[in-house]
Amino acid sequence: MYKRCQMKKKHTKNRHHNSTKKITSVDVARLAGVSQSTVSRAFGTGNELTEETKKKVLKAAMELKYRPNAIARSLTSQNTNIVGIVMANAKSPFYSKTLDEFTIKLQKLGKQTLLFSVEKGRDIDEILSHVLEYRVDGLVITSATISSEMAEECANIGTPVILFNRYATGTNVSAVCCDNVKGGRDVADYLLDRGYTQLAYIGGNPKSSTNIDRLKGFQERLQERGFSDLLIRNDEYSYESGYRIAKELILEGKKPEVIFCASDIVALGAMDAAKHEFNLKTPEEIAIVGFDDIEMASWPTYSLTTIQQPIEEMTEFAIDLLESKIKKMNTKCELKLFPGKLIKRGSA
Amino acid sequence: MYKRCQMKKKHTKNRHHNSTKKITSVDVARLAGVSQSTVSRAFGTGNELTEETKKKVLKAAMELKYRPNAIARSLTSQNTNIVGIVMANAKSPFYSKTLDEFTIKLQKLGKQTLLFSVEKGRDIDEILSHVLEYRVDGLVITSATISSEMAEECANIGTPVILFNRYATGTNVSAVCCDNVKGGRDVADYLLDRGYTQLAYIGGNPKSSTNIDRLKGFQERLQERGFSDLLIRNDEYSYESGYRIAKELILEGKKPEVIFCASDIVALGAMDAAKHEFNLKTPEEIAIVGFDDIEMASWPTYSLTTIQQPIEEMTEFAIDLLESKIKKMNTKCELKLFPGKLIKRGSA
DNA sequence: TTGAAAGCGATACCAT
DNA sequence: ATGGTATCGCTTTCAA
């Protein structure tokens, strides 16, 4: 079937009022005396072309300061080399470290990170909608749960999603997590072994899977060993929250011997409250245990006993998993749990 | 001039082995019974079309779960709505807060953040080269200086660049900074007014403009008031560095009355060294002043006297500036300095 | 107001 | 190994 013949006209006026001329592969081709396809080949990998032509092209490109347009490439090649990362708390120590790890590792694979921040109370689906418009090759979601409708949409559109430090039951989304239940149990064992009997738990967001599991493991193990008396408070993952709750507990006359906090940052708050509000010594008068092992936990001022999350291995694994999903090598959904490691320091 | 008539063939085999069909504006157009252009218009703003047709299109889009392809849009519209952010130390408190501010504010303007991490010792030009391939609308560079060649290339390609918390002399790149010289001077005045006479300075990266200026202002003002005796050490912007240098100073028998540290994180290190290595009380036996006012500075354990950088205003301004450069409303290069504010706390 | 068609700047197929 | 061209999914003239 033949298409009607078309008359081609040149654009007459410059639509974009740009004073600087954009260099494209056509310009390079002209200068190098080759076809545009050849220029494209010279910049790809594993393409058949003479060393000589390649050199010729690269020289011309250099002269013109040509840089291939990744946007145009993405349109045809159907992959952007961009990974979207959605975070709700990007400025907290644990997550900023996580983000840094992801970014650096992805960069080494030639991939870029498109960052999205979910503010408290904002709808994550709306943000995901924007992420998907950019046709990211894959998506990492931390500290937020994805709705099952959205998960389905991602699957439809063919964008692999990985939850990091979270998991969602009922969706077909893979997740990479620390074994929070096990971490909670380990803390329980450690504390009971040290002879503590009056225990408290200060949690973060009570609806997050991390919080639920850390508490679950902790409480389960306590009960298995005959301790059912656990003081539990939840609020959010922050220093202020830890500070306030610890202060409240003590003011209410419920000072425990030891507090297990759902994250290090909460633990630091609790420790400071004990010290500065009541002048209590750690660990003699009140012991504190955290979770994450952020850098500050190892500072001598805090010397926080905590469960270390193997962030580097976790991010490494998450990226590998994402890559294999992008290449469709792996379609099954999995939940990968990494064991946390109890780091014994001075606070308990 | 007429082009030769071409025979158009349909692709026979699916190049990309995708099982899921991609929904495009053509599909929506077909379902809605309108042209593809109309679909495009329905998703743009300020386009002329009937409410009725628009509704029809959106309904069809909804049904098909259509989402416009931002990559394709970028290719034609010549803007990506992506801002590149280059950071060397994204996981430190100050920069992670900065990054968060940028991301959230840009998101509110409908723009995305493409994040690049510069590892120590890595070549920033190579990274910038990648950034530019994505044709970001603008570029924010923090904690790294841009080479003048690269700055020129950015200008050539038409990508506005803003340095944040840095400036580079000799390039035509705009910069948004805290007034570090003034900050240094203010600290000098404050400390002299409090009667300190033995002073030390612990710096970060000695080649960074922040470090140079903070020291410069500090030293200048000391000299103006007749103090020329300042102990100076530089290393890098980190807790460990602050800790180590403070320890060295004291071990060498050069314990000053007060140390001005080039950043809060260095200050916290110095404070901890004094406390845990030598059991010195702050501020009685050794006073410490920082710079930045990160969250931890306000924690009672540290209660760090410091110069507060107005991050929110600075990021706000940087984004406004970038926007106006993107819209070509503003072409002149400027260095905008924000005054820091001395926050008096317990450490000095 | 709407439709038709020309790009945007690459990639990848096909033919030479 | 190289060139020609259809195509990716939009935006934006231009014509009707």
pLDDT tens by residue, A194-245: 999 999 999 999 988 999 999 999 999 999 999 999 999 999 999 999 999 9
- Chain A positions touching B22 (Cβ under 8 A) are 157-158
Tell me which residues of chain B, numbers 213 to 242, contact chain A at a CB-CB cutoff of 8 Å. 239
The per-residue pLDDT for A2 is 30
Nucleotide nearest to B78 (CA to C1'): C8
Q: In which band, very low, low, confident or very high, does the pLDDT at A294 lie, cut at 50, 70 and 90?
A: very high
Residue of A74, A105, A134 to mutate when probing chain B, most B C-beta within 10 A: A134
Contacts of A341 (CB under 8 A, 6+ apart): A307, A308, A310
The per-residue pLDDT for B20 is 62
Query: How many of the other CB atoms lie within 10 Å of CB of A216?
Result: 15
pLDDT tens by residue, A21-76: 799 999 999 999 999 999 999 999 887 899 999 999 999 999 999 999 999 999 99
Grouping H, G, I as helix, E, B as strand and the rest as coil, residue B187 is: helix
Give the CATH number of domain B77-178+311-338; options: 3.40.50.2300, 3.40.50.300, 3.90.420.10, 2.102.10.10: 3.40.50.2300
Residue nearest to nucleotide D7 (CA to C1'): A76
The per-residue pLDDT for A215 is 98
Q: Is the pLDDT of residue A14 over 50?
A: no
> Cis (ω within 30 of 0) for the bond into B283?
yes
User: Is A120's CB less than 7 Å from nucleic acid strand C?
Assistant: no
Tell me which residues of chain B, numbers 160 to 219, contact chain A at a CB-CB cutoff of 8 Å. none
Note whether A331 contacts B: Cβ–Cβ < 8 A.
Answer: no
Of the partner residues B72, B91, B119, the one whose CB lies closest to the CB of residue A96: B91
Do B93 and A97 count as a contact with CB atoms less than 8 A apart? no
Of the partner residues B70, B104, B130, the one whose CB lies closest to the CB of residue A134: B70
The per-residue pLDDT for A20 is 62
- How many residues belong to chain A? 348
- The CATH architecture one would assign to domain A2-68 is Orthogonal Bundle (1.10)
Task: Please indicate whether residue B173 or residue A16 has the higher confidence score (pLDDT).
Answer: B173
The per-residue pLDDT for B172 is 76
Q: Does A2-68 match A77-178+311-338 in CATH topology? A: no
Mean pLDDT (chain A, rounded): 90
Q: Which residues of chain B have pLDDT under 50?
A: 1-19
Q: Which amino acid is at A6?
A: Q
Shortest distance between the Cα of B222 and any Cα of chain A, in A, equals: 32
Residue ranges of domains in chain A: 2-68, 77-178+311-338, 180-310
pLDDT tens by residue, A84-99: 999 999 999 999 999 9
The per-residue pLDDT for A319 is 97
Query: How many of the other CB atoms lie within 10 Å of CB of B115?
Result: 27
Q: Read off the pTM.
A: 0.93
Helical ranges in chain A per DSSP H? 25-32, 36-43, 51-64, 70-77, 93-108, 124-133, 148-157, 180-193, 209-224, 239-251, 264-278, 311-326
Q: In which band, very low, low, confident or very high, does the pLDDT at A333 lie, cut at 50, 70 and 90?
A: confident
Chain B: residue whose CA lies nearest to A104: B117
Å from the B11 CA to the C11 C1': 14
The class that CATH gives domain A180-310 is: alpha beta
Chain A: residue whose CA lies nearest to B326: A18
Q: In which band, very low, low, confident or very high, does the pLDDT at A180 lie, cut at 50, 70 and 90?
A: very high
- CA dist B328 and B137 (Å) reads 11
Q: Is the pLDDT of residue A4 over 70?
A: no
Contacts of A327 (CB under 8 A, 6+ apart): none
The per-residue pLDDT for A143 is 75
Question: What is the token pair recorded at B117?
Answer: 């991490």
